[in-house]
Structure 1
Amino acid sequence: MSMIVTAILSTQIGRSAHGIIECEQLIEEILDTEHLGWETLLAVGDVEFYRDRSGPYPNHQLRVSVSPKNGVAALSYTDHDDPALSIANSHNPDGSSPAIDLVFNGDTRAIFPRSALIPISLARAALTEWLTTRSRPTCIEWVPYDEY
């Protein structure tokens, strides 16, 4: 089975990566980028995904926002096949998040709640797990999006 990650980067440029090495390099690039006004959207599958009418459209998506200078990231996972937890945000249970804002949606200017901020090392682990399992990572805690 081939692995393709399709990304809409925080620069609003679309990219795709093929195979585990390229996909991991793309993840590193994302985690090294200061997300100032836009988030990064990611989909993994056997084909590239597109935003226009040419499709196909993924049922699962990861939203990522990162601040390398502050050492934190926030993740949001959408799974339209999971009616119990269709949208979940990363969760920092110890409440030690810095007082910074990470963009959740550049179109609406929504920001992640501070409790969603996790160390970049945990975000890396979650994204690596996601590449392997193609489902919501279990190595970090998640909270339903609508509980904020």
Structure 2
Amino acid sequence: MFLTASLTTGVARVTAGRLESIRMIQEILTLDHVDWETTMAVGDAEFHRTKDGPYPNHQFRISVRPSAGLAALNYMDHDDKTMPIANSYNPKRPLPELDLIFNGSTGAVFPRTAIIPVDDANEALIEWLDSRKRPTCIEWRPFDAY
């Protein structure tokens, strides 16, 4: 298993194996995502941006505010016919008064309904490492255009 990540810090990293990948996820969850999101892909090969690929079929986008203990997730899977692009969903109200960056290139932010506790994000990301599918331990809503 390889986890390829483009971190909010502008650094790209690759881990090999489950334990090393979990450590990187835990590190990502401590980074303050102010101007840029982190994107991740898991697979049997490292994912690099070249004209020859390989290209992942599924990807996670995450934004975290460690000081608030909150995160937001976006999951894209080209093979998922029911919900190919989804955001994490928090049914609890009131919603947090926080903006988490969705796309650093455009300045778009996640909808506040996507903001979940960091512990829930951690559990979802570890489930994703193991299943390579959209995690079932949290709720999801179809992606809305930003």
TM bin (shorter chain): over 0.9
Contact 1:97 1:118 in 2 (8 A): no
Deviating beyond 2 angstroms after TM superposition, the runs of 4 or more aligned structure 1 residues are none
More displaced stretch, 31-40 vs 138-147: 138-147
The residue number in structure 2 matching 1:55 is 53
The residue number in structure 2 matching 1:124 is 122
Structure 1 residue 95: Cα displacement:
2.6
Structure 1 residue 51: Cα displacement:
2.2
Structure 1 residue 147: Cα displacement:
7.6
**Matched residues in 2 for 1:48 and 1:119: separation?**
29
- Residue-pair matches, total: 146
**Matched residues in 1 for 2:21 and 2:132: separation?**
13
The two structures, once aligned, show a CA RMSD in angstroms of: 1.3
Runs of at least 5 residues in structure 1 that lack an aligned partner in the other structure:
none
* Residue of 87, 90, 95 corresponding to 1:89: 87
Counterpart secondary structure, 2:87: strand
Corresponding letter in the other structure for 2:67: K
The residue number in structure 2 matching 1:5 is 3
Question: How much identity, in percent, do the aligned residues show?
Answer: 55
Structure 1 residue 73: Cα displacement:
0.2
The residue number in structure 2 matching 1:78 is 76
Counterpart secondary structure, 2:144: helix
TM-score, normalised with respect to structure 1: 0.95
Contact 1:95 1:115 in 2 (8 A): no
